[in-house]
Amino acid sequence: MKLVTMIYEITKTFPDDERFGLTSQMRRCSVSVPSNIAEGWGRLSRKNYIQFLRISRGSLYELETQILITKQLNYINDSKEVESLIIEISKMLNSLIKKLEEKN
């Protein structure tokens, strides 16, 4: 959820004409990451949990791409902190997915 907070803070500085574009998309992606983890856990099935973790990972990679786009558009200058957090979350998701798949 720290990622969500960071993305909301970062996108506050985006141009107004991006309100329904990158701003909205990045916020939805960031919210999707913890939401899908929670939904998968709530399904009480390992298979469903793994699927929702994969969806979460997809949203995370989508967000990573959008961060790169915003850098190219000069909407943000320093993205090291958010990029580091994305890498950390990606590693955690990949590890959890791998562990759950090994138990099948």
Domain ranges of the chain: 2-102
16 Cβ contact list (under 8 Å, min separation 6):
none
> What confidence tier does 65 reach under pLDDT thresholds 50, 70, 90?
very high
Q: Identify the band that residue 13 occupies on the pLDDT scale cut at 50, 70 and 90.
A: very high
Average pLDDT over residues 53-66: 98
* Closest of 10, 75, 64 to residue 32, by C-alpha: 64
- Rounded distance, CA 60 to CA 45, Å? 22
Mean pLDDT of 8-15: 96
In this model, does residue 104 exceed pLDDT 90? no
Q: What is the pLDDT of residues 24-42, one digit of tens each?
A: 999 999 999 999 999 999 9
Burial class for 80, CB neighbours closer than 10 Å (0-12, 13-18, 19+): exposed
How much is the average pLDDT of 56-82?
96
Distance CA 78, CA 90 (A): 20
How far apart CA 7 and CA 72 sit, in angstroms, is: 17
What was the pLDDT predicted at 103? 77
In the block, which residue shows the tokens 């955690």?
Answer: 92
2-102 belongs to which CATH class?
mainly alpha
pTM here is 0.93
